[in-house]
Amino acid sequence: MSAIDVFEPFHRGLPPFKKYAKQLLGRRAFISEFAKSELRRQNFGSPLGQVWLVLNPLLLSAVYFLLIIIISGHTNSGRYAHLTAGLFAFYLITNSITAGAKSVTAGGRLILNSAFPRIMLPIAASVVALFKFMPTLAVLFLLHLILGLPFTAALLWAIPLVLIFYIFALACAILFSCINVYFRDIQNLLPYLTRTLLYLSPVLYESSALTEKLNFLRVINPLYPMLDSWSRVMVKGELPFASDILQATIWSFALLVISSYLFLSREREFAVRI
């Protein structure tokens, strides 16, 4: 008599890691095609679609820049570059959170009819967010030329910083995709959560403008060291602080481990909750 596999949908616990990782790696092509299909659905493949990805944060940065001029009465080109670079990086995180939150619930039919590592869905959502972010790097390059920002060897730090941003974005996508399975109202709170995170991060203001009473934001806000380092590299052409890079790396990998554990320990009951 041949062996029979019995699946327990309500069973909680981590799946065999090696087997799960092998299945996940074996479906790299699926993740890529799934992400590409989502991009095509959002008209990313068309020239107008790609222009809008860049134009949307540019217009938002222009509005915030005008607001800063009205409030402070003075500003400079470096301030606008800081604002624009910060918004581009911040959009990578928020796009990953928004798409990741609904990735599992939106893939209900796929989950019910196919056997695959469910974590592929938030991973694909984070890949989509990364693809949307890549065209903004060309805009930042043009800003460097137009505004006369310094071109230094420190710009090479953009590569590891983008990697850190993506790891954090991936962790957020996994975390909120799991939370949304149990608490569907979380999607209604996300706009307020992301907007609050924007105001608490060095995007609309520079890190040097932070008062001593608000210095605790440097510690409790995981995006603070990332965005501050991003501005130093992309706007000022300076090397990031080693402590900020270390803090950002710890935040990103710690959140990735925690969110992955939460997701993997619960994914076998997703089918009965969607």
pLDDT in tens, 168-209: 999 999 999 999 988 888 888 899 999 999 889 998 888 887
Q: What is the pTM of this model?
A: 0.86
- Residue 228: closest CA among 161, 171, 149, 133: 161
Chain-wide mean pLDDT for the chain? Answer: 83
What is the percent of the chain where pLDDT is above 90?
A: 34
pLDDT digits (tens, 9 = 90+) for 53-70: 677 777 777 777 777 766
Query: How many angstroms separate the CA atoms of 36 and 65, rounded?
Result: 34
pLDDT of residue 166: 96
d(CA 196, CA 217): 12
pLDDT range class, residue 161, cuts 50, 70, 90: very high
What is the reported pLDDT for 72? 64
Evaluate if residue 107 carries a pLDDT over 70.
yes
Q: If you write DSSP's letter for every residue of 157-219 in order, what string do you get?
A: GHHHHHHHHHHHHHHHHHHHHHHHHH-TTHHHHHHHHHHHHHHTSTTSS-GGG--GGGTTHHH
Chain segment 90-101, per-residue pLDDT in tens: 999 999 999 999
Identify the band that residue 230 occupies on the pLDDT scale cut at 50, 70 and 90: very high
